[in-house]
C-alpha cells in the first residue's frame, strides 16, 4: 500500500498524465474528467474490465499489465493507495523524477476554482453523491461530479458540467477527504473503520471533526448517528441536521420500502413533502433526506429537490440486479462493513417477499475481518437465510496469519446456516443448491465477488 503524499504542490498544468490502476472506480472517473478537459491521459490496469472497455471507447489508451514503458512519456503519474509500492511503473517514475500525485491530489487539481460539495461518511457516500447530482440535474443545474460508482441514470461515474458546483465523493479511508476546498459538506455517519490508517477511533473521529470544521459554508450531518451526536459540540462550522430523530432540521418519517421503491415524508419547519424513490431500502430514504438538505443549501426549493430525486435510478454495485435464472434473482452489493451489510440485507428482505435470501460474503481486508468477524456473522445470521463465506480479499493489505473467511463462518451460532467455502466453484454450487424460484442470491463485498455471479448463474441453470 502506498501512503498518499499530500504535500506535493499542485502545478498549473499536469502535462501528459498516466494512471496506474486506471480501472478503479475513483481513478477512472478522474481520468475521464481530465480527458474531457483536453489533458492527454493514458493508463494501465492489471486486467480487462467493463470500465477499461469504456475508457478506451472514450479515447483513452489503456494497457493491460504494468510495464515501465507505459510511463516514459508521462509528465504526471497518478496513483491510488491500493497500489503496491513495488509496482514497476511506480518505481520507474520515482527513479526518473516524474511528478507523482495521489488520486486525491489529482481530484483536488480538478476542483480548483469550483464551489465544492463533498460527501463524506463511513457508509452511503456513493449513493448520497449520486442523489445530489441527480437532484441538481433534475432542476436544470449542470454540476461537475466525480463519484465512487456509476450513476445508473447517467451511465458514468463522473461528468463535466457548466455550473460552479463540483460534487465529489470524499474518501475518509486514508485521510484524503481533508485535502479538498469544501464549501458544503455532508457527513452521512461515522462508524469505526480504517484502523490500518488512523490507528485509533479517536484519530478517526478527529479527522471527521477537521472535515466538518473545514466546510466554508455549511456542513450537513446525520442527527441519528450516535458518534456524530457525541462529536457535535466540537463542530464549529454552521451545521444542518437530518434523519429520523425528533428535533433534526430535516426529518424523514413514514418510510415504506417495497420491491417497487421507497416512499417517505420530509418535514422541514412548516414545510412537508412526500417523495418516492424508484429504488428500495429504508436507508435510501434517509440518504435522500441528507441529499435534500444539501440541495436546499445549494438554493434548491425543498419540494423541487424531493421531486427531482424521483429520477434517481441507483448506482453501480448498490443492490444491483445482475442476473435472473430460473426465477432466482441475483443481486450484487458493495457492502463491506457490518452496518452496510445490515442495510443491504434489509433491502433485499423488503424485496424478496416470501422467498429466501442467500448471501455470498467476501470478507474485505484482513484487518477488518480480524476485528469485525463476530459483527459480520451476527448481521448475516440475523438478515439472511443462508450465507456462503468466501476467503478474504486482501486489497491493499498483506495477509495476516490465521485470518481467513473461516473467522466469520465460525462465529455463527447456528452452523447449519453458513458454509465457509474458499473455492469459488464449490461456493457457486452451494449457493445455487439452496435457491429456488422466488429467492434472491446476493453477493456482498467491495472486492471482486461480483465475478462469481456467472458461475452462480451457470449452476442455477443446470439445477
Query: How many angstroms separate the CA atoms of 307 and 310, rounded?
Result: 5
Which CATH code fits 320-462? 3.90.190.20
**207 neighbors 174 (Cβ within 8 angstroms):** no
Per the DSSP assignment, residues forming a β-bridge with 359 are 387, 442
Task: Supply the pLDDT for residue 446.
Answer: 87
User: Is 320 tagged catalytic?
Assistant: no
Distance of alpha carbon 195 from the chain centroid: 18
Q: Where are the domains of the chain?
A: 17-102, 111-311, 320-462
CA–CA gap between residue 247 and residue 266 (Å, rounded): 13
pLDDT score at 198: 64
Class of domain 111-311: alpha beta
126 is annotated as an active-site residue? yes
- Pairing mode, if any, of strands 261-268 and 271-277? antiparallel
Would you tell me how many other CB atoms lie within 10 Å of the CB of residue 140? 10
Kindly name the residue from 89, 169, 379, 459 that is annotated as catalytic. 169
- The pLDDT, as a whole number, for residue 393 is 93
Q: Which CATH class is domain 17-102?
A: alpha beta
What pLDDT, on the 0 to 100 scale, is given for residue 1? 59
- Is 169 tagged catalytic? yes
**Annotated catalytic residue: which of 42, 80, 126, 387?**
126
Q: Which of 76, 125, 127, 387 is catalytic?
A: 125
Pair 114, 146: CB distance under 8 Å: no
**Quick one: pLDDT at residue 155?**
82
Domain 17-102 and domain 320-462, same fold? Reply is no
Query: Which stretches of 40-157 are DSSP H helices?
Result: 50-57, 88-95, 103-110, 125-138
Q: Report the alpha-carbon distance of residue 45 to residue 65 in Å, rounded.
A: 6
Residues in the chain with pLDDT < 70?
Answer: 1-4, 192-199
Taking the CA atoms of 251, 256, 261 and 265 in sequence, report the sign of the dihedral they define: negative
Residue 23 CA, chain-centre distance (Å), reads 15
Q: Give the tens place of pLDDT for each residue, 351-399.
A: 898 999 999 999 999 999 999 999 999 999 999 999 999 999 988 788 9
- The reported pLDDT for the residue numbered 196 is 63
pLDDT at 43: 97
Q: At what angle do helices 338-352 and 366-383 cross, to 10 degrees?
A: 30
Q: How far apart are CA 233 and CA 211, in angstroms?
A: 14
Cα–Cα distance between 294 and 292 in angstroms, integer? 5
Amino acid at each position: 500500500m502506498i501512503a498518499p503524499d499530500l504535500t506535493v504542490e499542485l502545478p498549473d498544468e499536469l502535462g501528459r498524465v498516466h494512471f496506474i490502476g486506471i480501472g478503479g472506480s475513483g481513478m477512472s472517473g478522474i481520468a475521464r474528467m481530465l480527458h474531457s478537459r483536453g489533458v492527454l491521459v493514458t493508463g494501465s490496469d492489471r486486467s480487462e474490465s467493463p470500465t477499461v472497455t469504456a475508457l478506451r471507447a472514450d479515447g483513452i489508451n489503456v494497457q493491460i499489465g504494468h510495464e515501465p514503458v507505459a510511463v516514459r512519456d508521462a509528465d504526471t503519474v497518478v496513483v491510488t493507495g491500493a497500489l503496491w509500492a513495488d509496482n514497476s511503473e511506480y518505481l520507474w517514475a520515482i527513479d526518473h523524477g516524474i511528478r507523482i500525485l495521489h488520486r486525491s491530489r489529482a481530484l483536488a487539481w480538478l476542483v480548483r476554482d469550483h464551489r465544492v460539495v463533498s460527501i463524506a461518511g463511513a457508509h452511503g457516500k456513493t449513493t448520497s453523491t449520486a442523489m445530489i447530482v441527480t437532484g441538481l440535474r433534475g432542476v436544470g443545474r449542470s454540476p461537475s461530479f466525480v463519484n465512487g460508482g456509476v450513476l445508473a441514470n447517467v451511465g458514468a461515474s463522473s461528468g463535466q458540467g457548466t455550473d460552479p458546483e463540483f460534487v465529489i465523493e470524499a474518501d475518509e479511508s486514508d485521510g484524503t477527504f481533508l485535502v479538498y476546498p469544501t464549501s458544503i459538506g455532508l457527513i452521512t455517519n461515522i462508524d469505526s473503520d480504517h484502523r490500518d490508517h488512523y490507528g485509533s477511533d479517536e484519530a478517526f473521529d478527529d479527522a471527521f471533526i477537521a472535515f466538518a470544521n473545514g466546510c466554508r459554508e455549511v456542513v450537513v450531518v446525520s442527527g441519528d448517528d450516535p458518534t456524530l451526536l457525541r462529536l457535535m459540540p466540537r463542530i464549529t462550522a454552521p451545521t444542518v441536521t437530518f434523519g429520523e430523530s425528533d428535533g433534526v432540521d430535516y426529518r424523514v418519517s413514514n418510510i415504506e420500502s417495497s420491491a417497487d421503491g421507497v416512499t417517505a415524508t420530509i418535514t422541514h419547519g412548516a414545510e412537508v413533502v412526500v417523495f418516492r424513490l424508484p429504488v428500495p431500502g429504508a436507508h435510501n430514504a434517509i440518504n435522500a433526506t441528507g441529499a435534500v438538505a444539501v440541495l436546499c443549501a445549494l438554493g434548491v426549493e425543498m419540494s423541487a429537490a424531493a421531486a427531482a430525486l424521483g429520477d434517481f435510478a441507483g448506482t453501480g454495485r448498490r443492490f444491483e440486479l445482475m442476473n435472473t435464472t430460473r426465477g432466482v434473482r441475483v443481486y450484487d452489493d458493495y457492502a463491506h462493513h457490518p452496518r452496510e451489510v445490515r442495510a443491504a440485507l434489509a433491502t433485499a428482505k423488503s424485496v424478496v417477499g416470501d422467498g429466501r435470501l442467500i448471501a455470498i460474503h467476501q470478507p474485505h481486508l484482513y484487518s477488518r475481518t480480524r476485528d469485525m468477524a463476530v459483527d459480520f456473522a451476527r448481521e448475516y445470521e440475523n438478515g439472511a437465510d443462508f450465507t456462503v463465506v468466501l476467503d478474504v480479499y486482501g486489497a491493499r493489505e498483506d495477509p495476516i496469519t490465521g485470518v481467513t473467511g473461516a473467522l466469520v463462518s465460525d462465529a455463527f451460532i447456528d452452523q447449519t446456516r453458513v458454509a465457509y467455502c474458499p473455492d469459488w466453484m464449490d461456493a457457486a454450487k452451494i449457493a445455487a443448491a439452496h435457491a429456488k424460484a422466488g429467492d434472491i442470491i446476493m453477493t456482498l463485498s467491495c472486492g471482486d465477488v461480483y465475478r462469481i455471479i456467472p458461475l452462480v448463474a451457470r449452476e442455477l441453470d443446470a439445477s
